[in-house]
Amino acid sequence: MLCVILAAGCAKIISHPLLLPEASLRPADAIVVLGYGPPVDKAGQPVDELVRRVEKGVELFQQGLAPVLIMTGGNTYQDYYESAVMKEAAVSRGVPADAVVEEREAMDTIGNARYSAALVRARGGKGAIIVSSPYHLKRAKKLFDAAGLEIQTAACRVPDSAAYAIAFSIYEYWVRLDYLFIDEEALVRGEQGDEHTRNIKGPVRMRTEATP
């Protein structure tokens, strides 16, 4: 029991700085669902983390908060595109196929922001609701803000587990440390070309293939 209490306390302490306050959502030009790798398990079925994000995006779409769902995520795992797995999951939950747009280039959150923002603007839009894990959204919002969109955030449900909160929070802090060595906002704006995306394709695939 003591271990459970300590784990819960630790999870709250390290995850709290990552969390955004909940806010009412207004209609937007698009709902952008951020991908997750690996998108499928060993049997080729969508992983739970990706499904939770898709379900939240579908929920918001069915509430009429935007006319289109943008699924963002590239070929991060073997023959699977995150965006394709998410689109199939959304359509299976009743979203019309022509209301789901795939963004197939992004290999990380920087790419999610850069390429999804371009799709929103290409459709004449300027505002989006981004959907992801609550521990991911603060970093994602900063990047989408850099892309020049008017951003709202919506957190998907997550497991009620201290282990999940700790693991995801540690990953987020690790990525922020990595950002000390790059200008992530310039990369989002496309000021440094496509080299970042090309350079991380191999490492991202290796990481996702090694994930249980």
At 123 the pLDDT is 95
At 60 the pLDDT is 98
At 14 the pLDDT is 73
Give the chain's domains with CATH numbers.
26-210 (3.40.50.620)
pLDDT tens string, the chain, 212 residues long: the values are 544 444 455 667 677 788 999 899 999 999 999 999 999 998 999 999 999 999 999 999 999 999 999 999 999 998 899 999 999 999 999 999 999 999 999 999 999 999 999 999 999 999 999 999 999 999 999 999 999 999 999 999 999 888 899 999 999 999 999 999 999 999 999 998 888 988 888 888 888 887 76
At 161 the pLDDT is 86
Could you write out the three-class secondary structure of the chain? CHHHHHHHHHHHHHHHHHCCCCCCCCCCCEEEEECCCCCECCCCCECHHHHHHHHHHHHHHHCCCCCCEEEECCCCECCECHHHHHHHHHHHCCCCHHHEEEECCCCCHHHHHHHHHHHHHHCCCCEEEEEECCCCHHHHHHHHHHCCCEEEEEECCCCCCHHHHHHHHHHHHHHHHHHHHCCHHHHHCCCCCCHHHHHHHHHHHHHHHHCC
